Structure 1
Amino acid sequence: MAQAKEPENASDLCNSVTDLLLTDSLSSESPAQIKEQTERILTHEELEKLNSDQTLVSQFKQQKLEKEAQKNWDLFYKRNTTKFFKDRHWTTREFEELKACRKFEAQKLVLLEAGCGVGNCIFPLLEEDDNIFVYACDFSPRAVEFVKENPLYCPERCKAFQCDLTNDDLQDSIPVDSVDVVTLIFVLSAIHPDKMHLALKNIYRVLKPGGIVLFRDYGLYDHAMLRFKSGSKLGENFYVRQDGTRSFFFSKELLAELFTGAGYQSLVNEYVMRETVNRKEGLCVPRVFLQSKLRKPD
């Protein structure tokens, strides 16, 4: 299999993943943020840029990107190891269900981190909560190995495994109807839109009736979406980075349609707006995330 094209220099690599870096590093702090029901209003220049960029990546290249998706994420973790993302200490602040969804105080909470990366979400949770068991899966075998090599990894409290959410049955590793909470954080956007429903149905089968999915991902018109150069567009709101990894930007309407189509009930579905200062480039940029809470009916 051909190797994915490497960025020509360190600057290209930085630009290809800036949206990833900004997302995690600045979500670990808590700058002022506003939750909105309507999408961000674009400036005239932003609207012109999006309207002028209608050329799609060739079908041949798109098929190649889909075929090599796992390899491209593996290369990402090979280059960056465990040092790229900061630990997500903000999850319990944004999602109180991680602490409040127990029916009784002594209940052991069973969590699935779908798309765990190198464990930036699960290890802070395991440190904070002694009465939690975490299933952690990722598309990248290399990322899963980094999770297992972490000194905090303990098989009695965590089970990490490689999984393609769109193809591999989660029930091979997790009992049906056994998970209390699923975290799906900056993961669905990396999956081809035609296959997103497969991932949601897969998760649905292992989630308990009444269980909750906590979702956070790129929202429509986020600054990262506007950074893509001409020639990066794969489809509507869908782009490829220079390193071959892909990103989709969600409207709240599309997300609700995806989840309700897979059987979930929508509890919360809103845009999170914030401004981020990129000191390196001297920019203050608008970030837009979509934050949602979905429930499997009883």
Structure 2
Amino acid sequence: MAESMGSSECNIGHVAKQLTQEEIEKMQAQNSRLVSEFQANELEKNTKKHWDLFYKRNDTRFFKDRHWTTREFHELLGLGAGNDRVVLLEVGCGVGNFLFPLIEDGLKFKIIFACDLSPKAVELTKKHLLYDPENMKIFQTDITTENCFHQVDCPVNITTLIFVLSAIHPKNFRKVVENLYNILDIGGIVLFRDYGLYDMAQLRFKPGHKISENLYMRQDGTRAYYFSEEEVSNLFESVGFKTLTCNYVQRRTINLKEKIDVPRIFVQGKFGKF
């Protein structure tokens, strides 16, 4: 399914939408049967395994290339247009759906680092025709751990964290953001996008999938967390970042073949280290 980028940003208080009575009842029903503590612990223990199975099953077919990122984050154009001094780090690279469209658009960087939890995702990214080992270092790591970026051997100017943090348990959010702060050079920025509170996907979860507040288990064993803009801003500021922008954005997921046209809610932000 492709994201339509024609809608405008929506920023209404601390939530992007007010729930209808039917939606309130759906979310109340989610609480009737929660994921057991044992199962939740197993999900945490086997996070890498579930993502590896995801990429082994879907190969490079699941996610669409993200050609929208330069429209949403103009910093990518400014920093990557003929500037051979800029170092980029993509956190949670998957199979390169963010990285390689940048290369196709002609953006150039001094060096590009990219990482993912899944060894299979890293393997698939390195098989891409545009992969260049001379100026790309792609590696497997767990960004919730100490010294997770030890393979990044120079200061980073721009880091992306796009639809990554939502797959991680909330207890590890702060550690991830601390790791990003430590790897960034002074004046560097993090470009963030992830699922927003009351997104359509959150409302569609049935009983038996909710782990804890705003955290859910998908059928394939991966997880999804839904953020408020205030929560994201507070998280980054708690480790020393300055919030440059942080807003809800409303988009639509459209698949004409399957006659799907549904509203989506994301949180998008830019955070600087000064």
Shift of 1:108: 2.4
TM-score (norm. length: structure 2): 0.93
Cα distance in 1 for residues equivalent to 2:100 and 2:164: 18
Return the alpha-carbon distance in structure 1 between the equivalents of residues 236 and 196 of structure 2. Answer: 16
Work out which structure has the larger RCO, using CA pairs closer than 8 Å and 6 or more positions apart in sequence.
2
- Asked if the contact 1:278/1:285 (under 8 Å) is kept, the reply is no
Cα separation, 2, equivalents of 1:229 and 1:112: 36
Tell me the equivalent position of 2:151. 173
Q: Deviations over 1:39-88 (max 9, x none)?
A: 21111100111123213211100000001110000000001001111111
* Closer, same or farther: CA 132–223 of 1 in aligned 2, 3 Å: farther
CA drift at 1:32: 2.4
User: Is residue 5–residue 252 contact of structure 2 (8 Å, CA) maintained in 1?
Assistant: no
**In 2: Cα distance, 1:83 partner to 1:170 partner:** 28
Q: In the alignment, which residue of structure 2 is the partner of 1:75?
A: 53
- The correspondence for 2:107, drawn from 94, 106, 129, is 129
SS in 2 for 1:170: coil
Alignment partner, residue 30 of structure 1? 5
1:106-255 to 2 correspondence within 5 Å? 106-127=83-104, 128-175=106-153, 178-255=155-232
**Any conservation in 2 of the 1:37–1:270 contact (CA below 8 Å)?**
no
**1:191–1:260: structure 2 CA closer, same or farther, 3 Å change rule?**
same
Q: Deviations over 1:7-46 (max 9, x none)?
A: xxxxxxxxxxxxxxx4xx31xx423233324321111100
The number of residues matched between the two structures is 270
The answer for the alignment partner of 1:64 in structure 2 is 42
Structure 1, 137-146 or 127-136: larger mean CA deviation? 127-136
Contact 1:35 1:273 in 2 (8 A): yes
**Is contact 2:29–2:206 with CA below 8 Å preserved after alignment?**
no
For residue 73 of structure 2, what is the aligned residue in structure 1?
Answer: 95
The letter for the 1-side match of 2:249 is V
- How far the C-alpha of 1:107 sits from its partner, in A, is 4.1
Query: Partner of 1:7 in structure 2?
Result: none
Q: Which runs of 5+ in 1 are unaligned?
A: 1-21
**Partners of 2:90 and 2:114 within 8 A in 1:** yes
Cα distance in 1 for partners of 2:121, 2:146 equals 17
1:172 is paired with a residue whose SS is coil
Q: What letter matches 1:249 in structure 2?
A: Y
Contact 1:117 1:138 in 2 (8 A): yes
CA RMSD of aligned residues (A): 1.8
Identity of aligned residues (%): 50
Q: Distance in 1 between matches of 2:79 and 2:273?
A: 14
Q: Deviations over 1:74-121 (max 9, x none)?
A: 00000100111111111111000112247x964422100000000011
The equivalent residue for 1:17 is: none
Letter in 1 for 2:157: D
TM (norm. structure 1) is 0.86
Q: In structure 2, do the counterparts of structure 1 residues 105 and 86 end up closer, same or farther at CA, with 3 Å as the change threshold? A: closer
The answer (yes or no) to whether the contact 1:166–1:199 under 8 Å persists in 2 is yes
